[in-house]
Amino acid sequence: MNYKQYVFAQIMEHLPRHDFDSCVERYKGERYAKSFSCRDQFLAMVFGQLSYRESLRDVVACLSSHRPKMYHLGFHSSVTLPTLAKANERRDWRIYRDLAEILIGKARKLYVNEPAIASDLVGACYAIDSTSIDLCLSLFPWAPFVTTMAAVKLHTVLDLRGSIPTFFDMTSGKVNDVNFLDMISFESGAFYVMDRGYLDFKRLYAIHKAGAFFVTRAKNNMLFERRYSNPVDKTTGVLCDQIIFLTGVQTAQKYPDTLRRIKYRDAETRHTYIFLTNNLKASAASIALLYKHRWQIELFFKWIKQHLKIKAFWGHSENAVKTQICIALCSYLVVAILKKQLRLEQNLYEILQITSASLFDKSSLVELFSDIEIQSPEEGFQKTLPLLGF
């Protein structure tokens, strides 16, 4: 066990250095840099995320109070407020987007053996959704939403095995969610779960032609005719399982193939749901269970908003906002990787709670997380965390 390294430096060892340097070189991130490197910028921003700092001034003040330790934390130059703010405003945010994509690939390999949702859902399962982050229009005029407000949307494809984001994009609040489907490369044999906001039959047919499966909810005014019905076991909550085709003038042109319509009643909530899918083999109960797991992406958004700094931004330009969001996701992924590689039993909230108070300690990470019991003040939310796979 290494007692000579600070906890923050040990966490940052899980960052792939060569890949990071490649991202910086790809976008010429240090073309005009004299001493403050992209790595120093990244370390400062991640430190702010992991230590729950409230602003850039707060980040700089905290680091400056530990100036003798900066080199051992991984910094090669001092961090000042003007320098860090300028780097966030001017250095291409795509550096950190590409780094997040590299970390996604690394994390997915670690979580690939997570148990399947159901035995007959053999492919990978993803949830698609977005979350809006409200902004002040006078400070963020580049992200108009309504007359008096601005907003930025974070669109995400979440792997339901381990709740790892596999693809993401950021747009202004005005962009319709369904446009995000045009950016996704759909994986053959995989399941994609989404709510009714993504119900566009032309785009759903593109998913079908790609060899992937979708699960979504039908609208009440959908025009269709039943071709035949599959037998159902009503004790599972499935009320009907039909093979249908669309009869609307436009919808029939956009989706000319057959669909599967499943009506399901939840025994706990007493709510009735109608699902649409192009998968004809999985059981109706498994399709309903898969859609129920879509709430993992809602919990993911709730989690990162509560525990990472993406609601209060440390810069006003589009580049600064996107930089902060990408680095927040990188922080999430680094901790998720750390959890798997060290085989930690704590969930992500507990890991962040411990590290936030221990970044300047010299304990080994294994020792730091052993035999520690954490009482979360968010008792209600803690009960939902096991659904995230942590």
What was the pLDDT predicted at 386?
A: 41
Position 383 scores a pLDDT of 43
User: Which one, of 281, 253, 259, 390, lies nearest residue 332 by Cα?
Assistant: 390
Over residues 115-156, the pLDDT tens digits come to 888 888 888 999 999 999 888 878 888 888 877 788 899 999
pTM for the complete prediction?
0.86
In tens, the pLDDT along 64-85 reads 999 999 999 999 999 999 999 9
Q: What contacts 24+ positions apart, CB below 8 Å, involve 130-138? A: 130/154, 130/155, 130/156, 130/177, 130/180, 131/156, 131/301, 131/305, 132/173, 133/305, 133/310, 133/311, 135/313
Q: What is the DSSP string of 88-107?
A: HHHS-THHHHHHHHHHHHHH
DSSP line for 37-49: -HHHHHHHHHHHH
Spacing of C-alpha 308 from chain mean position? 12
Sign of the torsion angle spanned by Cα atoms 373, 378, 383, 386: negative
Least confident stretch, 55-64, 108-117, 121-130, 288-297: 108-117
| pLDDT of 4 over the 80 cut | no
Checking if the pLDDT of 382 tops 70, the result is: no
Residue 68 CA to residue 236 CA, distance in Å, equals: 63
Phi–psi pair at 226, nearest 5 degrees: -85, 130
Identity (one letter) of the amino acid at 258?
T
Reported as a pLDDT band with limits 50, 70 and 90, residue 90 is: very high
- Residues 361-389 have a mean pLDDT of 59
Cα–Cα distance, 162 to 390 (Å, whole number): 7
| Dist. CA 30–CA 40, nearest whole Å | 11
pLDDT value of position 59: 93
Taking all residues of the chain, what is their mean pLDDT, rounded to a whole number? 88
The domain segmentation of the chain, as residue ranges, is 7-97+315-388, 117-297
How far out from the chain centre does Cα 147 lie?
Answer: 29
pLDDT at residue number 348: 81
Predicted pLDDT of residue 142? 86
Asked if residue 373 has pLDDT above 70, the reply is no
Q: Domain 117-297 - what CATH class?
A: alpha beta
| Identity of residue 389 | G
For the chain, give the percent of residues with pLDDT over 90: 63
CA 220 – CA 139 distance, rounded (Å): 40
Q: In this structure, what DSSP letter does residue 181 have?
A: G
Q: What is the mean pLDDT of residues 328-332?
A: 92
What DSSP line would sit under 207-273, residue for residue?
Answer: HHHTT-EEEEE--TT--EEEEEEE---GGGTEEEEEEEEE-SHHHHHH--S-EEEEEEE-TTT--EE
Residue 145's pLDDT is: 85
Flag the least confident range among 149-163, 190-204, 326-340, 343-357: 343-357
Where are any strands of DSSP class E within 270-384? 272-277
> Of the candidates 191, 197, 189, 115, which has an alpha carbon nearest to the alpha carbon of residue 157?
191
What is the tens place of the pLDDT at every residue in 266-291? Answer: 988 889 999 999 999 999 999 999 99
Q: How confident is the model at residue 371 (pLDDT cuts 50, 70, 90)?
A: low
CA–CA separation, 173 and 153 (whole Å)? 5
